[in-house]
Amino acid sequence: MINTEHQQLSMRRQSELLKINRSMIYYEESDKTENFVLSNKIAEIYSSYPIYGYRRITAMLARENIEVNHKRVQRLMREMDLYAIYPRPNTSIKNKEHAVFPYLLEGLVITKPHQVWQVDITYLRTTKGFMYLVAIIDMYSRMIVGYRLSNSLCTESCKSALEDAIQKYGAPIILNSDQGSQFTSESWVKTLADYKIKISMTGKGRCTDNAYIERLWRAFKYEGSYLYQWNTVEDLKSNIPQWVYWYNYNRPHQSLNYSTPAETLYKAYSSNSSNSSNSFYLNFQDLNIVQEVKM
């Protein structure tokens, strides 16, 4: 409403025209800045003690002489999608209008690329608040097949990452996710149905079902974001594509006998000559001529 960079009207004049008390403008700006700082501190405590809920985090803040109401801490944690990790009864009330699908990976042996993909979202702290990174991996090769950086927890960024992945590699047979609202929304479910992708959803209290992509987040945060101090949105935008390339093409994985995800996919396609014209094969050859990314 108030344009702080207006060339002709000062903030005082704009306030008069809009009949707004000028002090309220500065109050709102101060409150936003304080929320950013407080959110960063909450996330810092949570990353060290993910078993702490909002009450204990409030107590931890008080120990550092940061006096804040526990309701405010609870609200900020909800906005960041941070919840204490501990065994508990089902306290989540599902939206009855959203579909929830069964978990299809129980006992399933994954034997080929793009048989199963897994999707998840993580938050990334910046100096100006939080960004959210959605990633999709191929569970056979650990390849990051699609990703998208967004400033909100929205279904559209998830769909964009999926569309990119399908355009490059074709549609998977199964796509597994948690029961987050982005993945139970009508828009997301319809998109998967259009591509004839089977939907699998991790059940409550089954954290090991997300082990593959949780390892990806750990690698990204400790081998990328934390190590290189990507603290701004600009840092993330410029460095995430390089890190994804490095992860896919240069980082050996112990679970893959120290092959890279790209090598694992290439070997799988090379073992079947009928797949030599597959779009991934061409992408792999094209990317081989790109100068190696040095992290």
Q: Among 240, 210, 50, 48, which residue's Cα sits nearest to residue 133? A: 240
> Do 217 and 124 share a structural domain?
yes
pLDDT attached to residue 294: 29
pLDDT attached to residue 88: 42
Q: Mean pLDDT for each 10-residue chunk of the chain (295 residues)?
A: 52 57 51 78 79 86 89 87 56 51 91 95 84 94 96 90 95 93 90 96 65 87 82 92 95 90 90 52 40 31
pLDDT attached to residue 144: 97
Q: Is residue 22 part of a domain?
A: yes
Domain of residue 61 covers: 11-79
> Do 262 and 165 share a structural domain?
yes
The number of distinct structural domains making up the chain is: 2
Q: Is residue 293 part of a domain?
A: no
Domain boundary among 79, 98, 128: 79
> Do 195 and 66 share a structural domain?
no
> Do residues 181 and 187 make contact, with C-beta atoms less than 8 angstroms apart?
no
Give the whole-angstrom CA distance, residue 246 versus residue 250.
5
Q: Is residue 138 part of a domain?
A: yes
> Do 157 and 48 share a structural domain?
no
> Do 137 and 73 share a structural domain?
no
**DSSP states of 155-223 as a string?**
HHHHHHHHHHHHHHH---SEEEE-S-HHHHSHHHHHHHHHTTPEEEEPPTT-GGGGHHHHHHHHHHIII
pTM listed for this prediction: 0.64
pLDDT attached to residue 275: 47
pLDDT attached to residue 9: 58
